[in-house]
Structure 1
Amino acid sequence: MAESSIALVLFGTFLALLLLGAPITVSLGVSALASFIYLEENPIKMVQIAFTSVGSFPLMALPAFILAGALMEAAGISKRLVNLAESFAGPFTGGMAAATVLACMFFGAISGSGPATTAAVGMLMIPAMANRGYDRGYAAAVTASAGGLGIVIPPSIPMVIFGISAIGLTVPPEAIEKFGTFQTVSISKLFIAGFLPAMVISGCLLTLNYFRCKKAGYMGTSDGWSVGQIKAAFKTGFWSILAPLVILGGIYSGFFTPTESAIVAIFYTLVVGWFIHKELKWKDLVHSLETTTWLSGRVLLILFTATVFGRILVENQIPAIVAESMLSLTQNTYLIWTMIIAFLLFVGMFMETLAAIMILTPVLLPVTYSLGIDPIHFGVVLICCLSIGFATPPLGENLFVASGISDTALEDITSKTLPFAGAMVVAVFVIAFIPEITLYLPRLFGY
């Protein structure tokens, strides 16, 4: 009964504040404080938990990856990746839209952020598609949908947050026997596990795009593929293509950790931007630092309060109660996955991604442990589900970004985005029901 009462105080206060329009950070912090007062604990404990939450070494990757993404856009790396993707469009039906999906994959391997990927690619590809006769609403919808790949393609900021959120969670004895004793989920393993799921989602988007463009009459160029144009795009984009290869190759070869790779990405971008492309200016560097400061501060505030919120959940055995409740309904893995995916899709429509990961990981991970689901597999499915939330109302950050770039009504973009969201949901179920899609590469590389 004590657990149910504290859950009522915690979630009741949280939901009430959200309904009143309070920011997510305020809602998390005040509900956690109300729970401490209800439990008659010293509120200073809340400050101590929040302070220690930023003492994690992997968390250093967060501002570094944000800065690397901002610098790469300023250094002209993202522009060259988009031009390379566009050169492959050629006579392919819906080729420009397909190139947009590919460009989002390329830039997602750098930025680790959905809205950043949408903004960087959309600023170049939406006008280009409009000039080729595409409806601006459709162009914006493709970009907003594919922008969600930014958090699935490694390196990914939400993957770092998921790894941190799994620290200290209670692992059932049967799970220890299967997965071994560990206190954290390997972020390097998460990174490599995200590749094939991202390919599955991209494949679903490209397939749907082909049929929708064929119906709408969005054809490719009549001249066919230009080998010269592709060679020129490769030549000018060589250092841009090399960026994700250097970063990810260094991680998987063991030269540096994911956290160190973020620092490598920054220095690589500075060298390319200043000495090779010669497009990076001091004002761009200052602007990138300002962007990093603002975004990092916003994320860390959520992290502070979400960590306290999650600690209260764990200390009061609420995740264990949720796990027992779900398992009492059914122990069929596919039904459990269906319930989890449906719940995550709903949450992703209303809650900011990083806050959702911090709150839900302590609640849902024990359920998957009990079913013998690999935590890496669960983490990738969680992030894939939440990536769809970037392109679904009412929160839909990518929708707002694409609407601003394309100067198109949000309602028009949303109606054209929903079929893509449906295709991504199908992809998520495939990824969840076939674990090998996620776990094949980590096993191949000996993780």
Structure 2
Amino acid sequence: MILLLGTLFILLILRVPVSFSLLMSSVIYLITHDIPPVAAIVRMAMGIGDSFPLLAVPFFILAGSIMNSGGITRRLFTFADTVVGHITGGLGHANILASIIFSGMSGTAIADAGGLGAVELKAMREAGYDEDFSLAVTGASSLIGPIIPPSVPAVVFGVIAGVSIGRLFVAGFIPGLIMGLVMSIFVYFQSKHRGYPKSQRATFRKLMQALKESFFALLTPVVIIGGILVGVFTPTEAAIIAVVYSLILGFAYREITWKDIPRCLKETADNTVSVMLIVACASIFGWILASAQIPQKLSLLFLAYVPNKYLALLLINIFLLIAGTFMETISALTILTPVLMPVVNGLGIDPVHFGIIMILNLMIGLLTPPVGMVLYVLAGVSHVAFEDIARAVVPYLIVLIITLLIFTYCPQIVLFLPNLVFD
């Protein structure tokens, strides 16, 4: 087992992609233990082929791509600005509200930052907001996407941990809204200090006009989440419905044509392949760990020295925050979930509660170097240096970590809705 973990660690230090690091270390282990390497191929196929819920991942990614191309994100931002633009730092609040609404459609932070973020940054730049403020708000608000359902990380966690994806989806509602509220409070005081403008309060007529133009776009999360809660379709089927609905809207708004579809499909394929390859390779690695009972042994060792649940949660949070700075979200979920779940179960922590905590921890990693995928996306759409964006988001990282601790030690915030809906 030292060989397996040591090889993985060395490969990661050498900056070998996570998927290939997992695959190579697993194959070396199989060879040295006289296990036919063909077992690796079998486990890879089973890792992604035996899981129906994983089909939701490419469809949610495709839905987000179509929404960004079909004028849906622009309409959402316009509506959000009409609703909250009159508050001090108006476009900052519109940025957050638009991310909350969009999070009910795409399920990924990257889709939010790349699509909606481009619209938000352009509007804030033209309105005279400082670049650092605009980028920080856009980056931080994009993290709400994977918390409020639907959520691609929640699907992956649910599959690996054997936790109800429906419960995970519902559990993200209140935490996501609280994240938005906390960010808005911070934006208000920051805007007050910097003297940022606010729009004139929209008249009822203007508000109704904005609602009319974005009404069917705003219905998207209602259709997706409502269908899951009512039991009309599963989360996987909801992802397909999201694709169909976003296509209908894109064509109805006449902002997407058949010529745009290949580009959306290519973008989806690129993102899906990277996610599925990690999951497939991690399934071999996880199978080896499970066969050697490594998670159980680590759990017993951890519980022997840290029997207190609250201290354990703090240590797990610190570990995940550090891991998130070096590992991509899906990679971290696939590698660490099997290791941490025995500890979580041993401490009597609700797996749904832990799932939201783990996802938020790793989402914060999207805003921290050296990986920081959201930072790279923002650098691409804004042409601002990666290092400058990383410095700008520091205040929001502090706010997010405080929010994380609140969710960690107040589990009812996370569990209230799923217990209400499913029990």
Shorter-chain TM range is: over 0.9
Aligned position for 1:19: 13
Distance in 2 (alpha carbons) for counterparts of 1:226 and 1:93: 17
Contact in 2 for aligned 1:247/1:261 (Cα 8 Å): yes
Aligned position for 2:174: 196
What do residues 37-81 of structure 1 show as CA deviations (whole Å, max 9, x unaligned)?
A: 232211111111101111211111111111111112222112111
> Residue 233 of structure 2: SS of its match in structure 1?
coil
Aligned position for 1:294: 270
The answer to whether 1:210 aligns with 2:205 is no
Aligned position for 2:362: 386
Contact in 2 for aligned 1:89/1:220 (Cα 8 Å): no
In structure 1, give the amino acid aligned to 2:191.
Answer: C
Aligned position for 1:257: 234
> Residue 151 of structure 1: SS of its match in structure 2?
coil
Aligned position for 1:177: none
Aligned position for 1:238: 215
The answer to whether 1:219 aligns with 2:213 is no
Superposition pairs for residues 246-325 of structure 1, below 5 Å?
A: 246-274=223-251, 276-325=252-301
Superposition pairs for residues 55-134 of structure 1, below 5 Å?
A: 55=49, 56-134=51-129
Distance in 2 (alpha carbons) for counterparts of 1:239 and 1:427: 32
Contact in 2 for aligned 1:141/1:399 (Cα 8 Å): no
> Residue 413 of structure 1: SS of its match in structure 2?
helix
TM-score if structure 2 supplies the norm length?
A: 0.97
> Residue 150 of structure 1: SS of its match in structure 2?
coil
Distance in 2 (alpha carbons) for counterparts of 1:413 and 1:149: 18
In structure 2, give the amino acid aligned to 1:32.
Answer: S
Q: What is the Cα deviation at residue 421 of structure 1?
A: 0.8
What 5-or-longer segments of structure 2 have no aligned partner?
none
Aligned residues: CA RMSD: 1.3
> Residue 408 of structure 1: SS of its match in structure 2?
coil
Contact in 1 for aligned 2:167/2:422 (Cα 8 Å): no
Distance in 1 (alpha carbons) for counterparts of 2:120 and 2:72: 15
Contact in 2 for aligned 1:141/1:402 (Cα 8 Å): no
The answer to whether 1:136 aligns with 2:131 is yes
Which of 412, 418, 431 matches 2:407? 431
Which of 338, 341, 349 matches 2:314? 338
Distance in 2 (alpha carbons) for counterparts of 1:421 and 1:225: 32
Contact in 1 for aligned 2:85/2:94 (Cα 8 Å): no
The answer to whether 1:40 aligns with 2:34 is yes
Percent identical: 39
Which of 156, 161, 165 matches 1:187? 165
The answer to whether 1:446 aligns with 2:412 is no
In structure 1, give the amino acid aligned to 2:348.
Answer: G
In structure 2, give the amino acid aligned to 1:287.
Answer: R
Contact in 2 for aligned 1:137/1:406 (Cα 8 Å): no
TM-score if structure 1 supplies the norm length?
A: 0.92
Distance in 1 (alpha carbons) for counterparts of 2:255 and 2:134: 28
Aligned position for 2:346: 370
Aligned position for 2:151: 156
What 5-or-longer segments of structure 1 have no aligned partner?
1-5, 167-183
Give the aligned length: 422
Aligned position for 2:47: 53
> Residue 48 of structure 2: SS of its match in structure 1?
coil
Contact in 2 for aligned 1:86/1:96 (Cα 8 Å): yes
